Amino acid sequence: MNCIVARFLVPLLSVALCLIVGAVALGLFWSHFPDTTLRLFRGAGAIREAIFAGNWPTRYEAVSRGLLDERLIVYMGFVIVARIAFGILLLPVYRRFDRKPQSEYQV
């Protein structure tokens, strides 16, 4: 595989995989621990209200409230945890294939 293609596709696939794993993890967490999930949603609602406690113009607040839904805040948390977990799990792979950069001009 071409090095430029690999440098583009590997991070892109990693992000896409973490989005999927985050959604699956949220679904499994929701089904196995509904009380804890409810507390997570309530905490996310408190975070959202804390963000909007300031004096925001109405046109910005309407769009922001749609984008900062409780479910989206909790989903973002699960995706971040999935990214951290994948980073820790793939650290030995990155170390294995780590190559020192070559100088551009070999003398």
pTM of the model: 0.76
**pLDDT score at 91:** 82
**pLDDT score at 28:** 96
Question: Domain ranges in the chain?
Answer: 32-96
Please, which residues have CB within 8 angstroms of residue 15's CB and are 6 or more apart in sequence? 83
The one-digit pLDDT tens for each residue of the chain (107 residues) are 567 777 788 788 889 999 999 999 999 999 999 999 999 999 999 988 888 877 778 788 778 877 888 899 999 999 999 999 988 888 887 777 766 555 666 65
**pLDDT score at 100:** 59
Please, which residues have CB within 8 angstroms of residue 18's CB and are 6 or more apart in sequence? 79, 82, 83, 86
